[in-house]
Chains A and B, each alone.
Chain A
Amino acid sequence: MAEVNILVCVKRAADVTGEVVLTADGTALDGRYSGYAMSGHETAAVEIAVSLVEQHGGSVTVLTLGDEDAVEQLRDALAVGADDAVHIEADSSAYGPADVAAAIAEVVRARADAGTAYDLVLVGNDAADTGNFQVGIRLAYLLDRPVVAGVQSAEVADGTATLHVGSAEGTETYEVALPAVATVLEGGVDPRYPNIRGRMRAKKAPVETVTAGVEPKGGRTLGLSLPPPAPTQVTVLGEGPGAAPAVVDVLRKIGVLS
């Protein structure tokens, strides 16, 4: 079985699962208190890549575009089994999704020229902070590769990737010739945690820093705000099992009891 070289693209984003804080100028999320992480989708993408390479041999490269702090997320991926990393040093807030895709495409081409052709490029389905849902698809067009979105698990054999996408009806399966691009959705694989040996390895693993080969056209954000708090007029129906008749009364009142 042929080896497989995989590039996984991750993004350092403010953790938005807790309380969300905006910067004073209202143009960005402030993660100083919440911390930063790669998204669940990207964590799943790293897991898919590392386990495919465990099975078939080859290499996993992890890539990010961001300031120097973003190297932390590269180290996180290296700690769970990625082999090397590329850091496109840039102010990610100046990059719209088309710019990010163009910068990644530059790296893919440069690495191919240098002898590493990526059979599969994985990105998150959507970024945890900016939520544009576009980088992977734009990248595929720039590289003229097939792309499958929302992938939850993957197999590779004989130059073909078998990609599984969850849908309302069940699981949809795509078979695409490599090289290809896939955007990954969390939930299909169980990402591993780093062990001590992995963390030690991550400290020493090579991180290549490059400058973006594209001039960003920028995003189109005019400003951010927090949604207004939901109006609260809660009616307490009671405590414990004794509240059951009151619940059924409500269900009857709103007409959902047939």
Chain B
Amino acid sequence: MSNAVLVLIEPDEGRVHLVSREALTFARQLGGEVHALMLGTVDEAVLADCREQGVAVVHEAQAAGGELDAYSAAAWATALEQALEGAGAATVLAGGTERGTEVLAHVAARRDLPMAANVLAVTSTEPLEVERQVAGGAVLERMRLDATPAVLTMAGHAVEAVAAASPGAAEHRTFEARVTPADLRARVQRVQARGGGDSSAALSAARVVVGAGRGAGSADGFADVDALAQRLGGAVGVSRAVTSLGWRPHHEQVGQTGSRIAPDVYIACGISGAIQHWAGVSSSKTIIAINTDADAPMMTKADYAVVGDMHEVLPAILEELDRA
């Protein structure tokens, strides 16, 4: 077995998903040859991203009978295990998306291997030890990962996706996945698309995120938040308090059990900034906090703070933008 690293990559709007590119950057730090696996069609844009990330081989899994057309974690795990053999990889990793985590847990369960979820860094290679986030990001755990292959998922935005010093060959290999009927016992039958705007669809990859917390006051308190997100071409993200109160849907939640974001700017309105929320937003390049409480954690951790009621400050910002 070589010391190759196999990375499960996912597509996003025609490119390799940002979280997958971060995982590829992280994989390079492990020292071995980097292989990528994508379920479904690998096109030139995906190959270009992989070349930039220094990937040596891009494996594409296909299934002539359409077994991979709809998502099944077990079918993906079967394809991943085949690619693992093909690459002779000593490490398999994925970005910490719902699917990345789920598929790797299937692989770990099938092979009775340990798995480390939400890894931030490798702290030792011989033996392999990692640092990972637990308790929703409130605590760091050092964990021994002394089995081969090592199975791990990355915490979203733990590393920044950067191009390799020299591009990879990104040799494109396709293989037929040996999906079994048992793999298809749990398979997505249908997807009901969200109605209305899809500003949340790309929350984890958005360049601008406007966030709102309990300070919104009620389910009707988000008009200015929505307007500012739209004006800046960004997405809306909310705190756990907001989804718990039923003011906004769960898919907009940022933090512990929601999306992790890394936008150019995060505008946090009426959010106190509990540690679980902070863990999901701390990779933002710039944070602007708006809150009536100048001592709220979000206000003291932000880059910029405005002391005031979001319902007064946001309309003024929208007005100023119209003027600009």
Q: Are B140 and A168 in contact (CB under 8 A)?
A: no
**A132 to nearest B CB, angstroms?**
6
> Can you list, as one digit per residue, whether each of B193-207 has a CB less than 8 Å from chain A (1) or not (0)?
110000011111001
Residues of chain B with a CB closer than 8 A to A138's CB: 105, 108-109
Question: Beyond A169-B194, A174-B186, is A226–B139 a contact (Cβ under 8 Å)?
Answer: yes
> Can you list, as one digit per residue, whether each of A176-194 has a CB less than 8 Å from chain B (1) or not (0)?
1100100001111010000
Residues of chain B with a CB closer than 8 A to A17's CB: 274, 276
Q: Which of A4-12, A73-81, A140-148, A199-207 lies at the interface with chain B? A: A140-148
Q: Are B202 and A149 in contact (CB under 8 A)?
A: no
Question: Beyond A16-B135, A237-B304, is A172–B141 a contact (Cβ under 8 Å)?
Answer: no
Contact of A152 among B191, B250, B302, B319 (CB under 8 A): B250
Whether B45 is near chain A, meaning CB under 8 Å from some CB there, is no
Q: Are A230 and B251 in contact (CB under 8 A)?
A: no
Of all chain A residues, which has the CB nearest B153? Answer: A133
Residues of chain B with a CB closer than 8 A to A250's CB: 265, 286, 288, 304
Q: Is the interface of A mostly helix, strand, loop or mixed?
A: mixed
In Å, the complex CA distance between A234 and B204 comes to 24
Q: Are B320 and A174 in contact (CB under 8 A)?
A: no
In Å, the complex CA distance between A222 and B130 comes to 10
Residue in A98, A131, A167, A175 with the greatest tally of chain B CB atoms within 10 Å:
A131
Q: Are B133 and A131 in contact (CB under 8 A)?
A: yes
**B140 to nearest A CB, angstroms?**
5
**B99 to nearest A CB, angstroms?**
9
Residues of chain A with a CB closer than 8 A to B289's CB: 234
Residue in B137, B304, B324 with the greatest tally of chain A CB atoms within 10 Å:
B304
**A29 to nearest B CB, angstroms?**
6
**B286 to nearest A CB, angstroms?**
5
Whether B178 is near chain A, meaning CB under 8 Å from some CB there, is no
Contact of B188 among A137, A173, A185 (CB under 8 A): A173
Q: Which of B51-59, B163-171, B214-222, B305-313 lies at the interface with chain A? A: B305-313
Question: Beyond A133-B117, A254-B285, is A168–B303 a contact (Cβ under 8 Å)?
Answer: no
Q: Are B320 and A141 in contact (CB under 8 A)?
A: no
Chain A, interface size: which category? Answer: 35 or more
Residues of chain A with a CB closer than 8 A to B276's CB: 16-17
Of all chain B residues, which has the CB nearest A251? Answer: B265
> Can you list, as one digit per residue, whether each of B49-73 has a CB less than 8 Å from chain A (1) or not (0)?
0000000000000000000000101
Whether A2 is near chain B, meaning CB under 8 Å from some CB there, is no
| Interface hits, B270-299 → A, CB 8 Å | 274-276, 278, 282, 285-286, 288-289, 294, 299
Whether B162 is near chain A, meaning CB under 8 Å from some CB there, is no
Residues of chain B with a CB closer than 8 A to A233's CB: 303
Whether B30 is near chain A, meaning CB under 8 Å from some CB there, is no
Q: Which of A60-68, A82-90, A240-248 lies at the interface with chain B? A: A240-248
**B143 to nearest A CB, angstroms?**
5
Contact of A169 among B141, B191, B316 (CB under 8 A): B191
In Å, the complex CA distance between A134 and B104 comes to 9
Interface residues of A (CB under 8 A from B): 14, 16-18, 20, 22, 29, 40-41, 96-98, 101, 125-126, 128-134, 137-138, 140-141, 146-150, 152, 165-177, 180, 185-188, 190, 219-227, 230, 232-248, 250-252, 254-258
Known: A22-B139, A174-B187, A226-B139. 11 other contacts (CB 8 A): A40-B257, A96-B114, A98-B114, A131-B133, A132-B115, A171-B191, A222-B144, A226-B138, A230-B278, A239-B307, A257-B232
5 A-B pairs with least C-beta separation: A187-B250, A241-B316, A146-B185, A244-B316, A146-B186
Q: What are 13 inter-chain pairs, A to B, with CB distance below 8 A?
A: A141-B109, A150-B102, A168-B204, A169-B201, A227-B139, A234-B302, A236-B305, A237-B305, A238-B306, A247-B320, A248-B317, A256-B265, A257-B324
